[in-house]
């Protein structure tokens, strides 16, 4: 019975090499439509900046907003790809900070900056250039101007959608007496990750985030950005923020459809709902709860708690997949926290397999999307490419990066050797400073 259950789940969640190739073709079509200004699930947003030369220098403040924590960093660029980060402070965002309104959210950001400046050498009122990483879909109007298109990742603050987030930040900084802080650049964490790695690695041409949310960016020739209305040399390049979390040409399971219907943005962010840390635990929970409802696992137990959305978290999935104990004790501990009072080793093994099936699919979808971006730039894979990746799922989930690399080899063959994946730790924060440096030139 258990073998049959696994076979059914593996079939439902499988992303075969042929399916990956279909995803790549559809991804290319959506990219082209997005670049042309046509309706597409990929927004393909211009970031108003190209990659750095590696020679940029200076001292900058960087802000990084996009998850459960807000970070303020001091970054020093010394040229030749050398970066120093003398000071970093992390501020936990409370629910009221992200769900009330623009005043509450940006007031919190500004007061956090003030605290950072007071506790570091930047306390004096000297002019400081600041780069702002704002990791949500932005309709940018310039390097330091952009309005929020939509909230993601649980943020709901009123009065921000459709408004210039740089203006909101400037007003909040002024209220805190920080008018000497100049916001010179705006970007999302994906662009920041690309900028941070490419500062010292000119082969780096893709930035990817796989964490609470997921997204990617790459440099595109201006001649191919058909929707661009400004002046630009056709062979010059600009980084394009793909917003790939919204890609919707993916095969959905029953569990995906149920999860999507339960969210506050049904029909949107489909790739993100299959890949990102915000949803991986919920996909696994829905599978486990369904097996229990059908009495295929934990017979005779009500286990009401695991029937509640959000009970199983992404970190739980990581803990279960990383459980190497003979009795799968860590898996048992997670299940007990989720209301399953007792479980056999065979049941714990089944749960571990469920988590592996869900996360392996996420990695293979990520690989297909990465392959699509690389082959969009270099159809025959004639040159080397570095993909800079940041995010908790990529960094911490057991076997996730290996599953991506394996899938790339399956779909690209020997040419996958041209692609190097590197963890770009703190890329979004460092990148904000590099963007500010490029912009200040």
The CA-to-CA distance between both ends of the chain, in Å, stands at: 65
Q: What is the DSSP string of 18-42?
A: HHHHHHHHHHHHHHHHHHHTSS-S-
- Annotated active-site residue 189? The verdict is yes
Q: How many residues does the chain have?
A: 441
Q: How far, in Å, CA of 196 to CA of 129, rounded? A: 17
For residue 65, the surrounding DSSP H or E stretch is strand 57-65
- Token readout for 433 is 């400073």
Sign of CA dihedral 438, 385, 28, 255: negative
For residue 57, the surrounding DSSP H or E stretch is strand 57-65
**How many CA atoms, within 13 angstroms, populate the side-chain half-sphere of residue 320?**
33
Sign of CA dihedral 261, 267, 269, 270: positive
Q: Which residues contact 260 (CB under 8 A, 6 or more apart)?
A: 252, 266, 267, 270, 273
Catalytic residue among 97, 189, 205, 316: 189
- Annotated active-site residue 360? The verdict is no
Burial 173-197 (b: 16+ CB within 10 A, else e): beebebeebbbbbbbbbbbbbbbbb
Cross-strand bridge partners of residue 145: 142
- Annotated active-site residue 390? The verdict is no
Catalytic residue among 40, 64, 71, 314: 71
Q: How far, in Å, CA of 349 to CA of 356, rounded? A: 11
Q: How far, in Å, CA of 305 to CA of 184, rounded? A: 48
Q: Assign 322 to helix, strand or coil.
A: coil
Q: Phi and psi dihedrals of 5, rounded to 5?
A: -60, -50
Q: Please check whether residue 238 is in contact with residue 244, taking contact to mean a CB–CB distance below 8 angstroms.
A: no
Catalytic residue among 41, 135, 198, 401: 135
- Token readout for 400 is 């996730």
Q: Phi and psi dihedrals of 76, rounded to 5?
A: -120, 125
**Residues assigned a catalytic role:** 71, 135, 189
């Amino acid at each position: 019975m258990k073998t049959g259950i696994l076979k059914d789940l593996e079939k439902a969640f499988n992303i075969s090499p042929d399916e990956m190739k279909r995803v790549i073709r559809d991804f290319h079509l959506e990219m082209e439509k997005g670049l042309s200004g046509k309706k597409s699930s990929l927004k393909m947003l211009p970031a108003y900046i190209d990659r750095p030369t590696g020679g940029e220098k200076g001292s900058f403040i960087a802000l990084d907003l996009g998850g459960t924590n807000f970070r303020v960093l001091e970054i020093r660029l010394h040229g030749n790809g050398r970066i120093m980060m003398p000071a970093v402070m992390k501020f936990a965002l409370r629910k009221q900070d992200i769900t009330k309104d623009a005043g509450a959210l940006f007031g919190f950001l500004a007061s956090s900056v003030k605290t950072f400046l007071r506790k570091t050498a930047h306390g004096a009122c000297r002019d400081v250039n600041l780069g702002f990483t704002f990791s949500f879909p932005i309709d940018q109007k310039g390097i330091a101007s952009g309005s929020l298109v939509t909230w993601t990742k649980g943020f709901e603050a009123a009065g921000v959608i459709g408004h210039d987030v740089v203006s909101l930040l400037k007003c909040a900084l002024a209220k805190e007496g920080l008018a000497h802080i100049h916001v010179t650049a705006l970007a999302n964490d994906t662009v920041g990750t690309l900028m941070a790695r490419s500062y010292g690695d000119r082969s780096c041409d893709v930035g990817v985030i796989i964490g609470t949310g997921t997204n990617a960016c790459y440099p595109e020739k201006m001649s191919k950005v058909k929707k661009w209305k400004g002046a630009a040399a056709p062979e010059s390049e600009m980084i394009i923020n793909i917003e790939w979390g919204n890609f919707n040409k993916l095969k959905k399971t029953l569990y995906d459809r149920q999860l999507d219907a339960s969210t506050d943005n049904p029909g949107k962010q489909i790739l993100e709902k299959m890949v990102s840390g915000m949803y991986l635990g919920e996909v696994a929970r829905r599978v486990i709860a369904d097996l229990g409802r059908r009495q295929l696992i934990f017979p005779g137990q009500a286990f009401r708690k695991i029937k509640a959305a959000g009970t199983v978290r992404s970190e739980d999935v990581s803990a279960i997949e990383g459980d190497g104990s003979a009795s799968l004790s860590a898996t048992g501990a997670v299940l007990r926290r989720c209301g399953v009072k007792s479980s056999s080793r065979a049941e714990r093994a089944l749960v571990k397999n469920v988590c592996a099936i869900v996360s392996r699919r996420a990695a293979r979808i990520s690989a297909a999307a990465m392959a699509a971006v690389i082959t969009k730039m270099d159809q025959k894979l004639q040159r080397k490419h570095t993909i800079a990746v940041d995010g908790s799922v990529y960094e911490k989930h057991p076997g996730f990066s290996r599953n991506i690399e394996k899938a790339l080899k399956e779909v690209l063959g020997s040419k996958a050797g041209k692609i190097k994946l590197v963890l770009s730790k703190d890329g979004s924060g460092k990148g904000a400073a590099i963007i500010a440096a490029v912009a200040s030139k």
